[in-house]
Amino acid sequence: MAQTSLRRGLFAGLLSFALLAAVGGHAEARQTVTPEKPTTFPTGSYATKVGADAADVYYPATTSRGLPVALLLQGANVDKAHYEGYARTVAAFGFVVVVPNHVRPVFGVPGLWASSDQTLGAVAWAAAENGRDGSPLAGRIDTGTLTLLGHSFGGAAGLTALQGLCVPPFCAGLPPGAVKPAQLKAAAFFGTNSVPPGGGPVGPINNTGVPVALVQGDADGVAAPAAARDTYRALTAKPRALVGLHGANHFGITDVQNPPGAAPDASPQSLDQTESIRAAGRWSALFLKASLGDPVAASYVRYWGDATDRAVTVEQAY
């Protein structure tokens, strides 16, 4: 029992250190914790446009610089507003999280459908925003680094992007390789797989140069955990990770269960929503940071995070 308490204390201390290192110093804790604001580390936000898309931006409310961009590709018909808590959690670890509403038709049906070519818009936005007078992020963005977050359909669009593929229903009209900019360095997706519609084997996923984490709720009734496992095994390059989130369903990263407009998950979530968002955001952010060379994040993700975090079970390869 004493050893368990010691390990948990070490986990809490090192995780706090990782967060403080990410945001650049101490700050006042929030008085309340909610799904929309699950982190006690302060984050700022504002509205912007990424190309033609309305978007929300979340960032650490400090003076830290060199912040990489994390583009969040939304699930099918899940409005950007429902990712506030998850985006703030990732941002607290030292990212500029950009969450667009990408409106387009898929097979003739208009809606909020993420697209692989949103990577190009995010790179252009980062360069422009970093130099824009009056921006809260002027001079603070690492314009040479793009990471991807994604949920469900958006994660699948991200998987095609990191392979350089522009294929329906995730993209159309661009040549091979165009949607994989040189700035793309790592990805973490939730409730995502590449199992073909109707089932069948997953073909090889060429993620060379882009480490990938799949965060998967074990109570997901929309995207089966077995499909995420097959997708993880189809990734051809390392590092890769499969993070099983205990008690989370398909909407474990949104501020509410079954957001209006999205196809609902009939499988109930037993994990508290705030804790689900925090755990998914923590593992997504620290995997991205580890992939970008952060030694504290790498230590957590590779060596001791799984053993000390009761919310997850992790399979990984390096």
| Identity of the residue numbered 279 | A
- pLDDT tens digit at each of 318 positions of the chain: 444 444 444 444 445 444 443 433 334 444 589 999 999 999 999 999 999 999 999 999 999 999 999 999 999 999 999 999 999 999 999 999 999 999 999 999 999 999 999 999 999 999 999 999 999 999 999 999 999 999 999 999 999 999 999 999 999 999 989 999 999 999 999 999 999 988 899 999 999 999 999 999 999 999 999 999 999 999 999 999 999 999 999 999 999 999 999 999 999 999 999 999 999 999 999 999 999 999 999 999 999 999 999 999 999 999
What confidence score (pLDDT) does residue 23 get? Answer: 39
pTM of this structure? 0.92
- Sequence-separated (6 or more) residues with CB below 8 Å from residue 139: 65, 130, 131
